[in-house]
Amino acid sequence: MGLTSHKVLAVAVGAALLAMAVTVGCWPRLARRHWAAVLGRIGALLATQLTVLCALGLAANSYFSFYTSWDDLLGTGDPGPVTVRTGADGRPAGPVQVLGREPVQGAGPSGRDPRSAGEIQAVRIPGPRSGLSTDGFVYLPPQYFQPAYADRRFPAVVVLTGYPGDARNLLTRLNYPGAALRLNRDGRMQPTVLVLMRPSPAMPADTECEDVPGGVQAETYFTQDVPRAVAAGYRVSVRPQGWAVMGNSTGGYCALKLAMRHPEVFPSAVSMSGYYRAAEDASTGDLFRGSRRRRDEADLLWRLNNLPPPAIAVLLAGAERGDGDYLRDTRAFAAAVRGPMALATATVPEGGHNFQTWSRLLPSALEWLSPRLAVS
């Protein structure tokens, strides 16, 4: 049974309840002053706590989708190489490998009709330049399948979730496709292809979207491999003005950093509850290999104060209260912005560093981004 299976969770909850019941039932017998009874009490308490913690951990993982499989949790297994095959009609298959399809949540009865609701494709995106590949999702808007748009190349947005979240969070917890579809139907967002991904293509390591010297080349993957692979497999814009990047938390930091470092790839970016300096902890390891220069360049406020500002448009979205140092850091960053960099902000009065806050910000963020995406 899979890590996120409801059966696994039910077994864990049942084991926790059984352990508690056995402990309560046997406690009178274990209350004697004897070494065997003492060991019994210790064992009963440990078993109860372990089963309860396992049940809580599985429930939290099921809700937030931190890990999608046992191999993902343990860092084992081999996802296998990406294989590009030739289709039956003799045409070469695209470099993005389609693994499956899913309906659009919240689309109503038309959720399975691509011409009405669009389509979500589970994909694997290879990276020949970086040597990386990772799984994610591509949302194609309904116009992608309509004859009137057969010659249209659509704008594309790379969307990054937080660390260590899974790309599926962008479907289940934030529902980017459903939000984009509603805005599209209301005339508030042009039809746009969404590429939904994790911020680290080398899990369980947190790469902070860096090119690590002698290590994982995550920045190269997101700024070179992903746009080229998506453009080769889908009818998306080949002009930089048709691309943008956005994300929440770590994904927000990555979105802002990738746009600031590579305005020729991502001229627009949205950061929801993102931070402004690369994290350095046990999950990241030594990203900079002791280089102060590289560490400074990953500090986005340092970049504004010490390097020429890039010609990009960015939206910083978050809560005015309830999200730690976000507001203070954002104000410091905004105060340092100068032309040709353009800045906008979106806020909710109060909210934590969580999906509920980002869900409230998402429609406004997509609506802000849409007119900045050129159609080709």
Rg (CA), the chain: 23
Q: What is the residue extent of each domain of the chain? A: 6-64, 89-372
Whether pLDDT at 276 is above 80: yes
| Residue 183 neighbours by CB under 8 Å, 6+ apart | 189, 363, 366, 367, 370
pLDDT at 37: 72
* Residue the block writes with tokens 């969307």: 159
Q: Smallest Cα–Cα separation from 118: which of 99, 103, 97?
A: 103
Beta bridge partners of 101: 121
Element (DSSP H or E) covering residue 304? helix 300-306
Distance CA 60, CA 71 (A): 18
pLDDT in tens, 42-89: 888 888 888 888 878 777 766 544 455 565 455 554 444 333 232 333
DSSP string, 233-259: HS-B--SGGGEEEEEETHHHHHHHHHH
Q: Smallest Cα–Cα separation from 133: which of 56, 42, 229, 210?
A: 229
CA 284 to chain centre: 17
Distance CA 122, CA 331 (A): 38
Q: Half-sphere exposure (CA, 13 Å, Cβ side) for 201?
A: 28
pLDDT in tens, 306-348: 999 999 999 999 999 999 999 999 999 999 999 999 999 999 9
The type of residue at 332 is: A
DSSP 3-state assignment of 130?
coil
Local confidence band at 91 (pLDDT 50, 70, 90 cut-offs): very low
Q: Smallest Cα–Cα separation from 15: which of 67, 53, 64, 70?
A: 53
> Which one has a higher pLDDT value, 282 or 350?
350
Q: Is the preceding peptide bond at 340 cis, omega within 30 degrees of 0?
A: yes
Report CA-CA distances (Å) from 142 to 54, 103, 190, 374: 42, 12, 11, 18
- Determine which of 60-69, 93-102, 204-213, 233-242 has the lowest per-residue pLDDT on average: 60-69
Phi, psi at 284, each rounded to 5°: -90, -30
DSSP state of 68: S
pLDDT at 4: 59
DSSP 3-state assignment of 279?
coil
Local confidence band at 356 (pLDDT 50, 70, 90 cut-offs): very high
In this structure, are residues 262 and 225 in contact, taking their beta carbons and an 8 Å threshold? no
> Which one has a higher pLDDT value, 62 or 233?
233
Q: What is the mean pLDDT of residues 242-254?
A: 97
Distance CA 186, CA 37 (A): 69
> Which one has a higher pLDDT value, 42 or 266?
266
Task: Specify the CATH number of the domain 89-372.
Answer: 3.40.50.1820
Local confidence band at 110 (pLDDT 50, 70, 90 cut-offs): low
The type of residue at 195 is: V
In this structure, are residues 118 and 181 in contact, taking their beta carbons and an 8 Å threshold? yes
pLDDT at 79: 41
